[in-house]
Amino acid sequence: MAAIKKVLYFHENQLVYPVRKQQDRDFQYGYNQIISCLAADIVIFNSKFNQESFLSSIDGFLKLMPDYRPKGLSDKIRSKCKVLYYPLQFDLPAPQHLKMVTLHDSELDDNDQRETQKGALVESAKCCQSVCSELPLHIVWPHRWEHDKDPDTFFSVICDLKAAGFQFVVSVIGQVFNEVPEMFERAQSELREHILNWGYVSDRDDYLRVLKSGDVVVSTAAHEFFGVAMLEAVYCGCYPLCPNRLVYPEIFSKHLYSTPNQLLKRLKRLCQNPQALRKEGKCFIDLKPYLWSTLKEEYVQILLPEDPSFK
């Protein structure tokens, strides 16, 4: 009988979890991850960013130890590593990947081709004027209500959007925990006339319906190694706007912003013409690399190599 392989699926790097003060960091979580990787035969990371951020952080993290600090652990672990994206699966029709909408973030930037791009947006809007033309832009923020998702930046930008007089509605539907950052209460009061959905949507079908009704999905995360919520929203037809950091450049290469002001500018332009995003069959990135139908065989080869009956 073949020896059983010990496989570790590594979805989040505790070595770099953002904390307000270094003394708030729980050393044990990160240390446990390092030891688990050393004990495993195969270490699977859910993104290239996750793998490299973990391996490059080991030496610095171990400097927090008061005495014995082993060296060369990152090289030992790297030899066992493999990147295998988290698999997404939906009870929805697959998006039409070949009917790409060519509205990219680069087209929303200030540049010499602004007038040409503006004309392209107008033509795109003409194609879908009959679809929800009376509805304002629907912005979705589907993340955990915790500080590492940086809700402060999101609500600051959305409040600036309101102050500038733009029409929009917002759905804030991520998971809620016992300790909710105070920014949420202030934002709920400030944005009350713009709120379409507020609070965790526990029913899966209802959650997907909210995503399908959205136009734009925004991330402001300070800690993200894959981003299931963003990919789910794109699958459901939302246009992604992501910070140019963490895992996002790996997945959303053309839908990035570098500063909160850039995010605000892009939302303003989308508010002016939400119909440009409402086109049946749209898909803003190629989702095939992240679907279970694509990844299944590779997962089976690693986890169930001796079971050809698995379907």
pTM of the model: 0.81
Show pLDDT as tens, one digit a residue, over the chain (311 residues).
Answer: 455 678 988 777 778 776 555 555 578 888 899 999 999 999 999 999 999 999 999 998 888 777 777 888 999 999 999 999 999 987 655 554 323 333 334 444 443 333 333 333 333 333 333 345 579 999 999 999 999 999 999 999 999 999 999 999 999 999 998 888 889 999 999 999 999 999 999 999 999 999 999 999 999 999 999 999 999 999 999 999 999 999 999 999 889 999 999 999 999 999 999 988 887 557 778 999 999 999 999 999 998 876 555 55
- CA neighbor of 13 nearest in space, from 42, 40, 53: 53
- Rounded CA-CA distance 300/121 in Å is 44
Domains of the chain: 7-87+291-303 (no CATH), 105-289 (3.40.50.2000)
- Rounded CA-CA distance 207/200 in Å is 9
